[in-house]
Each structure stands twice: as structure tokens, then as C-alpha cells.
Structure 1
Amino acid sequence: MNAFRALAIFFIVFLHTMHVFSWDNNQTQEKILRILFANGTIFFVFISGYLFQHLSAKFSTNKYYVSKFKNVILPYIVISLPVVLYFVFISPKHIEPEFIAMPEWLQIIHYYWFGLHIYPMWFIPTIALFFLAGPIFYQIDKHAEAYWIIPSLIIISLITPRSLFPTDNFLHFLSIYVLGMFSSRYKELVNQTIVKNYIIFIIFVAFVSLFLIEYFALMAGFKTIGYLQKLALIFFCLSLLVKYQKYTHHELITTTANASFGIYFVHAYVLAVCKLASNFFNQYFLNNSLQNIPGNIIFQFLASGIVLIMSIWLVNFIKNLLGDKTYLLIGNIPQSRARQANV
């Protein structure tokens, strides 16, 4: 699933990179891109469930919890600490009187629980709940009939939108995680089915239809149609990656996939630097009154590629600097091996 992991992190980086630009003069392109890339976290959750099942034969509750704390929770705590301390003791991010009135230790817990100190970090408290539920997911996988719960979970996802609360987000993404597990457990059946041309066509039509409904009838966002659209997009992308798997064996894809969680941790910092540079260039060289450079599809794809490459470079730099202590900042980053790349 290397190609899918690389695609998942690209979706996330792409959406967050849109904040570098001003879209006031290009709102149509902005709406198209936001509908297409919004809630790309679904890809990340799907592959998390897929890999959980793939590795379930070696599952041990204690080892699993230790591994997830070491490679996800601990780096989240460490890499967030400077920003959290800055917002708590120097320049409060929240100006609500109730929040300011909280004792500092409670403010720190608040930031870590909601992950609002750095926008992409909202996902870590959510995925932590999936980690806690690991033994339950393991039991689901041991009893194949338990996968019949997926339709009910999809209904729960449809009626529970994303919110600031990790518990709501857990319910919203739960069906996707279990679908990922299902797609791994029945990999041969799923792959043989989705590579058929007529199935690919049906999935594509479903995706385009949902995209158009969201574009013309709704505002871009994390609504019911958006969830279904991403569900169709997951299996459309998966079908193409399986069908054309031989073209996905590339060093860049493998490197991006292996560094995906590290990229997630550092790309917000890379984006902050890029945004400062963009604002400076825009104001002092282009003499533009807008704070950000006007955005368009071409600039957006170029900027996303640059941010992704810079994030990969930063991950490798941290890895070379810290060696076996890399997990403290960005988790465990495996060695890249293009030959090991698969879907």
C-alpha cells in the first residue's frame, strides 16, 4: 500500500497548502479544489485500518500500545510542546475569558486533547482513540461475521460530522477504519473486483456524481455528501493503483510513504515558513496589496509539491541528526526500499 500511503499524505499536504494563497479572485477554482481534497484525512484513516489488519497476525496489546505511544503520541507531545507553551505563557491563541481563566496546566491539557495549537494536529488525539480501541478491532478481525457491522458504522459516520471533539471524529471515521481492515482481510477478493473495468467505471460515475452534487447543491465542507464522495474516491484511487501497480514502484513513492507520518508532523512548520516567504515576496517584490499571493490550480500543485519535498527533506534531516532517537520528534521512519513498494 505504499502508493496509497503516499497519496494519502499528498491529499493532506495539498489541502493545507491552500492556506498559503489568497483565493478571493479565483473562488471557482478554490471550490473545486476544496471539494476534491477536503477531508483527505479519510485516506489516512483507511490506510491505518488496512495496515492494522495486515499486521494483526503479530498483534500483542502491550507491544501495540508501547509502539503507538513511542512512535505517535510521544512525538506529538514533544513536537507540539514549544507551540503549546508559547500559546499558554506568551501569546494566548484563545481569547475567550473562560479559557484564559483556566489554570495553565488545564490549558496545556486542552491544547493537547483538541490538537488546536497546530491545525493538522487535531488528528492525533482522534487517531489515539483508534489506538486505544486496538484490542476491539483485533477481536472484530478474528470474527469475520463482525464485519457486517460496516453498514451500521457508515450510517453513524453520516450522522456524526467532524467537529472539534476527538470523540466525534472517532465516530465519524470509524466506518472508514473498519473498511480499511475489511479491504486488507479480503484483499484478494477486493482487488480482483475493483480492477474490473465496469467496476472502475461505476465507482468513477458515483464519485463524479457526488462531486457535482456537492459543487452545485452544497458548499464545500465535511458534510454527508462529502463523506460519500471521499468513500467513492478511495475505491476509485485504490482500483487504479491495483490495476496499474507495476507503475507505482518508484523511489519517491516509497520514500513519501515511509515518511508519511513524519511528514504529517513537520509539514505545518514547513507551511509556516513558506507562508512567511510568500507574504514577503508578495508585498515587497510584487507590491500586491493582498497579504497572500493570488492562488490558482497551477500554483497550488507546484506549491504542494514543494512543501511535500521540503517536508521529506526535513524528515530525512531529523532522521540523520537524531539517529535512533528520531521517534522523539517524528516517529519511526523506516528505510526506503523501492523494491518493497506495492499498492
Structure 2
Amino acid sequence: MTEKKPFLQSLHYFRGFAIINIMIAHVWTGPSGDTSIYAQATGIIDTMREVFFHNSTIYFIFVSGFLAEYLSATRNPLRYYRKKFLYIILPYIIMSSLWFFWSAQNNHIPEHDFLTASGTYLSWLTYGQAQIQYWYIPFIAIIFVISPMIFNIPHTTFKWIVAATSLLPLLGTRTATDITIFQFIYFLPVYLQGIYAARNYDTLLAITAQYKIGIVLLIMASTGVLVFSNTQSLSFGVLNFSESMHYIQKAGILLIVLSFFEQRSRNAQAGMLDLFASYSFALYFTHVTVSMYLVWKLLPPPTFYSLSFFNSSIFMVFIASILYLLIKIVATLLSCMIAKKITGRFSRFLIGA
């Protein structure tokens, strides 16, 4: 029997960090309107969101690979598939189905045409089209299917595979939310890196400590390039220079933040990160819904931004956007906690928490 490995608090914190970054990428927006202050503030917000939070999926995929290797269940393929289906795929199907029926009821889908509606439903499930972030689930499901074969690759061979494939994301072949072979070329190497990191965690931390200054300089350089190229589309076919820079930036941030959490986990607890990590998949499934159909209804953006002390300057509008973002994030977390309380032991199958 495989010996149970100790709980890695640092990786748990990093999972919390990852989901917060993903939520920010999807729900941090500025006000809409014709005023110059609104337009300039929203431009700054859009740039910061794109530069610092776009492609935070890299963090999530790294964690998936790390945990897949680290947890002993990966040595039993049937148990591995069962857990992935019950705790990730099943909640995805349920949440997508609820969203589909809601859309049908609101005449967004021609429900009277059974064949058309069925085709739309199957397309939503297959390609993750129910919400902008749902593409990740059918994408990662394919990786889950092949994972047991990956785990059986001899360690020496696997090391060279990771080294070679780690160069592929530099091509910048991410295809937005479309599930394509180019998407796998971009993200699968990150999953493999997560597996390798789980096998060599202490070495990874030691290398990060040794080259910390160089890693920080890479983060700064790639961030600078992203800032200056944000308004330009530097691409050739499926090759996108900005996605290449995001890979370098996010890989560097990943190493520095994970190393920081490793140090912090020895000295202090991070309660909020622990909470976000525990609800990570539930937050992933629900953050767009809560933001758009709960927060926006109870506190519409025009009402929020119309408060006099929020629209007095570009800086105040920017601060207001951060406050509104925090409201969305906290509302999503509270909604997940309430849903878990109501559904009890079935919550993990229903919302992924």
C-alpha cells in the first residue's frame, strides 16, 4: 500500500491564490459610460487585468498536475477516474445543465425545436460553452483520461519530456477558450511541469531560492513587454507573442509565490487563502454567475459608480472598481458556503466543494 503523503499547506495556499487570480481575470471590470473619467479608468483597469491576470489558468493546471502526481490515488486508475468524475465532471454537468435550462426558459435557446436544443446542449457540454470559464473542464477532462499513462512513463524519460515540452508554450499557441490541439500544445506542458514538481518539490524550491533574482527580473521584463504590447496584436497565425510572454511571466510568479507560501506555511497560517483553496472548484463554477446575476442585480454597476465620491477622479473610479471586485469575490465565496451548508454531504457532487 502506498504511504499517504503529508498535506502540503503551501500548495493548498497556492490553489487559493490561483482561483483568486482567475476570478479577477473574469470579473474585474470598470464602469461603462461616456464620461472621460470612466473611459480612462476603464482603460487602465482593462490593461492591468490583461497584463497581470490573463492566463492565470496556468496556475490551476500546474496545481492539477502536481496534485495528480502527489496524491496516492493516481496509482489506481479506476479510483482516479471515479474521483475526477464525481468531484469535477459531475458538478460541471449539473452546473452546465442548470445554465442551459435557465437560458432555454429565457428564450435564449429555441427549446421548442428538440433537435436544435439537444445539439446546443451537447455542444455546451463538449466544448464548455455554458460560461466563459467552463471550457477548462472538458479540456482538463481529456488530460485526466491520459494521466495514468503519463504516470507510468519512466522517470528519466519523463524528465527529458518535461524539459523539451516546456519550450512549446513559448510559441504562444493558446486559442482563447477554444479546445484545439494548439491549446494542448500550450497548456499540457504546464500540467507535466506540475507532475515533475511534485516528484522534485524540494529541488524546485532550492532552485527557486538560488535563482530568485533572475526569476524576478524575468517577471519584470515579461510584464514590461506585456504592458507595451497590450494595444498591439503581435501574432502570426496561431503563434501569439503576448501568450508567450504570459507563459514566462506566470511561470516566474508561480515559482516565487509557491516558494513564499512554503516559507509562510512554516511560520503562520493564512486563513482566507485556506478558505478560497477549499472552495476552489465551486468558486470556479459559480463566480461569473454570482457576479452577473446576483451582484449586478442587487447592486447594479451604474448605481455603484454613480456615488459622488467614486466618480470624482480616475483614481477614485479605479479604487471603486477594486471595491466592487471584492464585493463580487466575497459574494461568490459566501454563496458557495451557503450552498454547501444547504446541500450537505452532496455539495461536492453538486458544486465541487
Q: Identical aligned pairs, as a percentage?
A: 23
Q: Which amino acid aligns with 1:177?
A: Y
Q: CA RMSD in A?
A: 2.9
Question: Does structure 2 retain, via aligned residues, the 8 Å contact 1:88–1:108?
Answer: no
Q: Which residue of 2 aligns with 1:153?
A: 165
- The alpha-carbon deviation at position 118 of structure 1 amounts to 1.3
- The alpha-carbon deviation at position 90 of structure 1 amounts to 4.5
Listed as ranges, the matches of 1:184-263 within 5 Å are 184-196=198-210, 199-219=211-231, 223-246=243-266, 249-263=269-283
Q: Report SS of the residue matched to 1:73.
A: helix
Provide the C-alpha distance between the structure 1 equivalents of 2:327 and 2:190, rounded to a whole number of angstroms: 29
Q: What do the CA deviations read for 1:148-197 (whole angstroms, capped 9, x no partner)?
A: 1123323333332233432343332111111111111101111122134x
Provide the C-alpha distance between the structure 2 equivalents of 1:158 and 1:202, rounded to a whole number of angstroms: 18
Q: Which residue of 1 aligns with 2:28?
A: 18
Provide the C-alpha distance between the structure 2 equivalents of 1:120 and 1:286, rounded to a whole number of angstroms: 31
Stretches of structure 2 that go unaligned for 5 or more consecutive residues are: 1-10, 33-37, 234-241
Provide the C-alpha distance between the structure 1 equivalents of 2:267 and 2:143, rounded to a whole number of angstroms: 32
Change (3 A) 1:156 1:86: same
Q: Which residue of 1 aligns with 2:194?
A: 180
1:116 matched to 2:162? The reply is no
Provide the C-alpha distance between the structure 2 equivalents of 1:230 and 1:3, rounded to a whole number of angstroms: 16
- The alpha-carbon deviation at position 200 of structure 1 amounts to 1.6
Structure 1-normalised TM-score? Answer: 0.83
- The alpha-carbon deviation at position 33 of structure 1 amounts to 3.0
Structure 2-normalised TM-score? Answer: 0.81
- The alpha-carbon deviation at position 300 of structure 1 amounts to 3.7
Stretches of structure 1 that go unaligned for 5 or more consecutive residues are: 95-99, 334-343
Q: Which amino acid aligns with 2:23?
A: V
Q: Which amino acid aligns with 1:82?
A: L
Greater displacement, 266-275 / 303-312: 303-312
Dislocated runs of 4+, deviation >6 Å: none
Change (3 A) 1:69 1:32: same
Listed as ranges, the matches of 1:1-343 within 5 Å are 1-19=11-29, 21-22=31-32, 24-26=39-41, 27-56=43-72, 59-88=75-104, 90-92=106-108, 103-140=116-153, 142-159=154-171, 160-168=173-181, 169-196=183-210, 199-219=211-231, 223-246=243-266, 249-272=269-292, 273-279=294-300, 282=303, 286=307, 296-331=317-352, 333=353
Q: What do the CA deviations read for 1:44-89 (whole angstroms, capped 9, x no partner)?
A: 1111111111114652111111111111111111112122134456
Q: Report SS of the residue matched to 1:120.
A: coil
Greater displacement, 163-172 / 64-73: 163-172
Change (3 A) 1:286 1:14: same
- The alpha-carbon deviation at position 217 of structure 1 amounts to 2.9
Q: What do the CA deviations read for 1:19-53 (whole angstroms, capped 9, x no partner)?
A: 46446222134312320011111111111111111
Question: Does structure 1 retain, via aligned residues, the 8 Å contact 2:139–2:179?
Answer: yes
Provide the C-alpha distance between the structure 2 equivalents of 1:177 and 1:52, rounded to a whole number of angstroms: 9
Q: Report SS of the residue matched to 2:55.
A: coil
Change (3 A) 1:316 1:90: closer
Provide the C-alpha distance between the structure 1 equivalents of 2:284 and 2:118, rounded to a whole number of angstroms: 26
